[in-house]
Amino acid sequence: MHIQIRPILAALRRHKAGTLLIALQIALTLAIVCNALFIIHQRLANLSAASGVDEANVFVIANMWADLDRSTEQVDAQVRADLLALRQLPAVRNATPASGYPLRGGGWDNFVTMTPEQVKPTTDAAVYTGDEHFLDTLGLKLVAGRNFRPDEVMVMGTQQAITPPTAIVSQALADRLFPDGNALGKSFYAMGTAPSTIVGIVDPLHRQGVDQWSNGYAGQALIWPLRADDERGIYYIVRAKPGQLADAMREAPKALYAQNRLRIIDPVDGIQDYATIRHKVYDRDRGMAILMSVISVVLLAITAAGIVGLTSFWVGQRRKQIGVRRALGARQRDILAYFLTENFLISATGVVLGAVLAVAFNLWTVTRFEMSHMSMAYVGIGVVALLLLGQGAVLAPALRASRVSPVEATRSV
Amino acid sequence: MFSYYLELALRSLKRSPGLTALMVLAIGFGVAASMTTWSVFRAVSGDPIPWKSAQLFVPQIDNWGPNGRSSDGEPPNAMDYADAMALMRDHRAKRQSAMYQISPSVVPAEAGKHPMNVSGHAVYGEFFPMLDVPFKYGSGWSASDDESRALVAVISSKLNQKLFGGAASVGRSVNIEGKDYRVVGVLDDWNPQPRFYDVVNSGGFSVNGDDVFLPFLTAIQADLPNDGNTNCNAVPKESGFVGLQRSECVWIAYMAELDAGAVAAYRDYLDGYARDQQRAGRFAWAPNGRLRDLRAWLDNQHVVPSDTKVSLLVALGLLLVCLVNTVGLLLAKFLRRSSEIGVRRALGAPRAAIYAQFITEAGIVGLAGGVLGLLLTGVGVASVGWVLPKDIAALARLDVSLLLLTLLVAVIATVLAGLYPTFRASRVQPAWQLKSN
């Protein structure tokens, strides 16, 4: 089929304003949709990031002590008794003391250096503390080395700085510190004067926070064998037996209060399962993804409707010319091809301009709002989507145009 | 004359209901998206204390040196104990307060009630007059209460409701971490957003306000540990809360009230203080302090989430596309009536009359879009809770000014969009139109 571009261009020149407006609309839509798509994809990727935790069966109790006057020894005795009580519950598989947990939404992290004198840190790691039950309670996968031994677990009082001689690190941290592999048995310093030797490696293990600043340190975490007997409070991480999460979450606080009443477990968010923890920490990301999706859908719908509206108008305006062409021998599909090609030319102009705008907008948000660089794939997807949208939108009016009868040429002159 | 244009416009709009509906929908959605995101942006970027923010300042002291600075050379965003105490002792501002976040347990007097955990701040007595904190009963405490580490407390009206059933509880006592404190004041509803006196710890916004305020030195003496962020450039040499107080770790927020004339002098004072520390051998670097007024400080701490700004921008982009769309559709609609315009012009209607007629038509489309936009904005503001963290979503409100703004933006934007099509319509040559029909 031979398509004449020149008559189309000639006709478009008579509708300069309308042509430019559609092209501009397509360009702006492309620029916005590309960036929205990029944001949506980024946020969805965050939402599904692996934590390393057996999320279906694990929950966390935020246990605050009601009396601050106790010594570290007294707190430690209470913590041990609590853990024993928790582990004995029929629905519970294991429990560990902790100062934080993956996806908590922020918490303790330390700079890591290879030597004690090093001024500029090698990297940053989330710091977890727990006893020899930590790995099993969270359901972390040990990929190398061994778990902590009970005799390695040390006691850490309020604001006390202790550097245990052993540590288990995440694969990501091991790779960052020792790119050649073989991190096992090697040592590092994490803001202390004494080194910690790596005895085990787990993979994966998410950090506590999901903030943008920590993206560069994704998955980098270390676990120290410590019972954090802070006078203010402690987290108990509990892993229920499969399918018994609800039972375990009901029994656990009762068992703790039976041990000692002088504690505060917030009735609203003192006990959270991992579904809740994940839902909460990604609040912002999920919201942004939803908002961007809604805006993109509305935008595409309006642009499509705009193309339908304006093309319908043009078809109505040119009924006489179409009739003349038909009378002179043009077939229905020639007329159809004419409008499809016309729209393609306008859309192509629009997407070229739009691609430039999309990249410019992204670069601007990078410098202004600390967003990241957009891959060109999003622009590619956007271009294809808008070209298809344009062709789809123009189809109905173009079909109507192709059905204009040659008799129109003789009317109303 | 206007009623005539109104009638013409309505008749014209009725003639092509599809096109009209499309324009109204586009304007409605565009305006609603912009207004909903604007309501959120307005809520988080507002000045929490507009009558005084220009006199409130946050000093920063660089006690970590070049290695502890962020990439843009900023010193820590909080203070260590030694510097905060030195600034309080020197007392160079009109009013000032060091403060840190506490989370003590409160034991209700009634037997059998569980102890509860409350959040609050340890502050100096000047905190309350400095920030114009409203009281329902009583007042803050005096400087001598600060000095003597008196066991006094200011509580929120919410906590007053829980503990004393909302009674005027000044003079009664409340058990905090095992010690009896005398209530000297009960706050009126006060939960400024952002929580400007300690944005570092609240992240700016928090649905639940502080429930208890205790004198700073009393809290230190009672060993009430810091419940906010603690940032260290090195691990403290000694352990416990006392070890933290002797370390270079930063965990204390600080605010000072300065009259316009006193700002330069205070800046000099901060510089001099850092120089003294340098001379004494504590700092091995030149002074690198900061003194920002409240608005600059909120900006520096990125209190407005960048997500909020990006959302607003994208929504404004949507509105722009809707307007471009409207320009195109109005253009098509107006030019379709070239012959009608030709007849009117031939019968003596001046260009101005054509202008008035078509601008009226655009205005009506804008008004209809605005009314739809109002409804959609209502839906949008009511459902921001679905897409935003609750601390921020709770701030977005639908008020009269937002409603008026929605209508105004819709009408003005559509009339602007109608200008070019109207201009084109007014250029229609009467003779040409009459001839060709």
Cβ pair B424, B341 in contact under 8 A: no
CB contact (8 A) between residue B320 and residue A284: no
Which among B104, B114, B306 is the nearest to A370, CB-wise? B306
Identity of the highest mean pLDDT range in A247-251, B327-331, B386-390: A247-251
Q: What is the pLDDT of residues B58-85, one digit of tens each?
A: 999 999 988 878 778 899 999 999 999 9
The whole-number pLDDT of residue B397 equals: 81
Which among B104, B241, B310 is the nearest to A369, CB-wise? B310
Which among A161, A264, A286 is the nearest to B239, CB-wise? A161
B435 shares contact with chain A (CB less than 8 Å): no
Chain B positions touching A311 (Cβ under 8 A) are none
H-type helices in B251-337, by residue range? Answer: 263-279, 294-300, 306-336
Which residues 72-101 of chain A have a CB within 8 Å of chain B? none
- Asked if residue B111 has pLDDT above 80, the reply is no
Which range (A221-225, A357-361, B39-43) has the least confidence? B39-43
Shortest Cα distance from A205 to chain B (angstroms)?
A: 23
Tokens of A299: 């935008």
Q: A376: left (phi > 0), else alpha (psi -120 to 50), else beta?
A: alpha
Measured between alpha carbons, how far is A238 from A98 in angstroms, rounded to an integer? 10
The whole-number pLDDT of residue A271 equals: 95
Q: What is the pLDDT of residues B230-260, one digit of tens each?
A: 888 887 888 888 889 999 999 999 999 999 9
Shortest Cα distance from A105 to chain B (angstroms)?
A: 12
- Asked if residue B46 has pLDDT above 90, the reply is no
- Looking at every residue in chain B, the average pLDDT score rounds to 89
The whole-number pLDDT of residue A254 equals: 94
The whole-number pLDDT of residue A24 equals: 93
How many A/B residue pairs have CB atoms within 8 Å? 160
Q: What is the pLDDT of residues A101-111, one digit of tens each?
A: 999 988 888 88
Higher pLDDT, B151 or B345: B151
CB contact (8 A) between residue A157 and residue B240: yes
B419 shares contact with chain A (CB less than 8 Å): no
- Asked if residue A57 has pLDDT above 50, the reply is yes
The pLDDT of A330-356, averaged and rounded, is 91
The whole-number pLDDT of residue A105 equals: 87
The whole-number pLDDT of residue A3 equals: 62
Q: How confident is the model at residue B207 (pLDDT cuts 50, 70, 90)?
A: confident
Burial class (CB in 10 A: 0-12, 13-18, 19+), B271: middle
CB contact (8 A) between residue B333 and residue A313: yes
- Asked if residue A410 has pLDDT above 80, the reply is no
Which residues 166-185 of chain B have a CB within 8 Å of chain A? 177-178
| Confidence (pTM) | 0.83
CB contact (8 A) between residue B388 and residue A283: yes
Cβ pair A11, A18 in contact under 8 A: no
With pLDDT > 90 as the criterion, what percentage of chain B qualifies? 56
Which range (A188-197, A237-246, A381-390) has the least confidence? A188-197
Q: How confident is the model at residue A2 (pLDDT cuts 50, 70, 90)?
A: low
A353 shares contact with chain B (CB less than 8 Å): no
Q: What is the pLDDT of residues B10-41, one digit of tens each?
A: 887 788 888 888 889 999 999 999 999 999 88
The whole-number pLDDT of residue A278 equals: 93
- Looking at every residue in chain A, the average pLDDT score rounds to 90
CB contact (8 A) between residue B232 and residue A120: no
Q: Which residue of B lies nearest to A313 if distances are taken between CA atoms?
A: B332
Q: What is the pLDDT of residues A9-29, one digit of tens each?
A: 887 777 788 889 999 999 999
The whole-number pLDDT of residue A117 equals: 82
The pLDDT of B140-146, averaged and rounded, is 95
Chain B positions touching A22 (Cβ under 8 A) are 328
B57 shares contact with chain A (CB less than 8 Å): no
B72 shares contact with chain A (CB less than 8 Å): no
The whole-number pLDDT of residue A413 equals: 45
Shortest Cα distance from B164 to chain A (angstroms)?
A: 20
CB contact (8 A) between residue B336 and residue A302: no
A411 shares contact with chain B (CB less than 8 Å): no
- Residue that has been written with the tokens 């957003």 in this structure: B193
CB contact (8 A) between residue B331 and residue A29: no
- Asked if residue B403 has pLDDT above 70, the reply is yes
β-pairing, A221-228 vs A154-156, is parallel
Burial class (CB in 10 A: 0-12, 13-18, 19+), A329: exposed
Which residues 261-290 of chain A have a CB within 8 Å of chain B? 262, 264, 266, 283-284, 286-288, 290
Chain A positions touching B311 (Cβ under 8 A) are 288, 291
**Contact residues for B7 (Cβ-Cβ < 8 A; gap 6+):** none
- Asked if residue A157 has pLDDT above 90, the reply is no
- Asked if residue B437 has pLDDT above 60, the reply is no
CB contact (8 A) between residue B235 and residue A161: yes
Cis check: omega of the bond before B350, within 30 degrees of 0:
no
B329 shares contact with chain A (CB less than 8 Å): yes
Which residues 190-249 of chain A have a CB within 8 Å of chain B? 191-192, 231-232
